Every structure is written in structure tokens, then in C-alpha cells.
Amino acid sequence: MSIIVISEFISAPALALLRNHHQVTYEPESYQQLATLIASLQHVEGLIVRNLTQVNADLLAAAPNLKVVGRLGVGLENIDLPTCTTNNIKVIPATGANAESVAEYVLGAAIALSRGFLPATQQTLAGAWPRPRFSACHELAGKTLGIVGFGSIGRVVFHKANAFGLECVAYDPMLTGATVAIGQQSIPLLPLNDLLTNSDVISLHLPLLPATKNLFSRLTLDQMKQGAFLINTARGGIVDEVALAERLRSGRLGGAALDVFEGEPAKNLKHLAGLENLILSPHIAGVTVESNERVSLLIATEVDQFLRSAS
């Protein structure tokens, strides 16, 4: 029986699965007390986290028996991967398990931005009847969606966007060729500059790496199509928030949806205040009841099988 610590929330069925075979400590707020968490890891063989637990060198040094880290999500920025590799610690992300939820968020945000749902709500509540203004909005059908990062989530976005009649193009620095075949369909691969100038909506699905830090800078944003929408459900550090706000205020860009921020939890967003063409949410695009069940059960199963095979 292995010892497992879970420092952030996991679903009840996944927790029960792990407790059938292992000694599990489940304290979903323990990431807030890092020193206490570190002190509890001396005999731990499995650690399960989301994105708020910092699995850094200090934490890993305090867990000499650690064999596996399960990540309830896909981004690995909070995990010291080189140290894990050096210490022969397996890192397991929940690749693809939250893709449906993220893709629904992307399409929902694109519709809300293109039809002006938020400002229409505010103005209607205020007693106005802004029918002429919002009758001049556009359909998504026939527009171009640029998918920046074409991994597991980007591919689900592609399938759902096709159902709405969007033309899709993609950019991914890890892929080569002119197109990518997805089942019976294919999507054109473009250089980033070409995608920027041809897309009515751009959706980001890249990890935060040195090469993608501030990838959407002032220069990049200014290459986007006049009036285009930007949706970021990837990582906040990819987009220069101040530069984006300037272009939303000026009308250079038509709107944006940000689910992720450079600092999280986001405490100071004054630079984004007062923008009616902006949707903000607290990093929840990939977190729904259904996706949490899939993510939790996937990681619980993978960690359970790894530890039992390693014992």
C-alpha cells in the first residue's frame, strides 16, 4: 500500500478509487500552506496536484520516496520537470480530459463576443432598447477561426467550430507540412503571421514556455485582423494584457475573452476595467462537473496503476 498526498480538489469517485488500494491524505487546501505540505511528504510515494501547488525543488527534496506526480490538468508550469526527471519521478498530466469543456468555452465566448451579449444585457437592464446596434452584429458561420496550438484541445475546438460553419486554420510550431489530417477532415497549417492577418477569431492553446512568453505582444496584436476577437484559455503570460486592453479600447480589436492571467489568482486587473467588449473568468474554461470527473478519474487510475506496478 503506497502513501499518496492530494493537495487540491479531486472528485469523490476518484478519491474512493485511490483509497481502495493506498493510504491517502486528502487536504484540498494544503497548497496554501506550503511549509506544512512539504513537512508531510517524507514518506510519500504519490502526489496529486492541480495548478496551485508549486512542485518545486524544495518540495521535491522533502519527498525522497516520491515516485509519481499526477497533474489534475494539462499545464505543467508549476512542476519542476528537470528535477523530476533527475529523481526518476514520473509526471502524469490529464491530457485531453478537459478538452470538451475548453472547446465549449471557446465557442461560447466567440458567440457572446460576436453578438455582443454582455453589453446588450447591461444596456437593456439600464432601460435602453439597443436593437439597432446589436442587429448589426455578425454570424460566426463563414468566418475564420485561427487555432494557435493544435494539440488535443485545439483539435476538439476544430471539430466543434466546423459544426458552427467556421473555416479553421492552425499554427503549431511543433507541426510541419501544409495541412493536418483529422479523421476524414483536414485543417490548413499556416505561419503565425498569415494566421493573424486572416483570422476573425483567434483561440490560444499553447503551453507557457520561454518561446511563448508574451507571444501576443503589441507587435503580434497589431498584426491581427481589424476587429478580430482573441480568446485565451491557455496561459496568461502568453498575452500582454496591457497591450490587449489598449487595442480593445481603441477599437483596433473587436473583443477578447481571458480565462487566464499573468498572475493567478488575479488580484489587480485595473488595466482591464471598463471594457464592454471583454469577457473575464477565473481560469474555469476546462473545469466543469463533467471534466472534473474525467480528469480526476484519469489521474487516479494512472497514479494507482503506476504505483501498484512499481511496488
Q: What is the percentage of the chain residues whose pLDDT exceeds 70?
A: 100
What was the pLDDT predicted at 73?
Answer: 92
Pick the CATH number of 99-280 from 3.40.50.2000, 3.40.50.150, 3.20.20.70, 3.40.50.720: 3.40.50.720
User: Regarding the domain delimited by 3-95+289-310, which CATH topology (the fold level of the hierarchy) does it fall under?
Assistant: Rossmann fold (3.40.50)
- Nearest-angstrom CA–CA distance, 271 and 122: 21
pLDDT band at 36 (very low <50, low <70, confident <90, very high): very high
Residues shown for the chain: 311
The answer on pLDDT for 311 being more than 80 is: no
* Domains 3-95+289-310 and 99-280 belong to one CATH topology: yes
Provide the pLDDT confidence category of residue 206 given band limits of 50, 70 and 90: very high
Question: What is the spatial distance between Cα 254 and Cα 227, in angstroms, rounded to a whole number?
Answer: 4
Mean pLDDT of 192-212: 96
How large is the average pLDDT for residues 8-21?
Answer: 97
Candidates 22, 71, 155, 235; catalytic one:
235
Active site residue 22: no
Point out the catalytic residue in the list 50, 247, 283, 294.
283
How far from 293 is each of 118, 297, 307, CA to CA, in Å? 30, 6, 21
**What average pLDDT is seen over the chain?**
96
Which of 264, 276, 290, 308 is catalytic? The answer is: 264
- What would the pLDDT profile of 81-122 be if each residue is shown by its tens digit? 999 999 999 999 999 999 999 999 999 999 999 999 999 999
Q: Helix-strand-coil percent breakdown of the chain, rounded to 5?
A: 40, 20, 40
Domain boundaries, the chain: 3-95+289-310, 99-280
Question: Is the pLDDT at 183 greater than 90, yes or no?
Answer: no
pLDDT digits (tens, 9 = 90+) for 133-172: 999 999 999 999 999 999 999 999 999 999 999 999 999 9
Please confirm, yes or no, whether 235 is among the known catalytic residues.
yes
Asked if the model's pLDDT at residue 224 lies above 90, the reply is yes
50 flagged as catalytic? no
Closest CA to 183 of 208, 201, 206, 158: 158
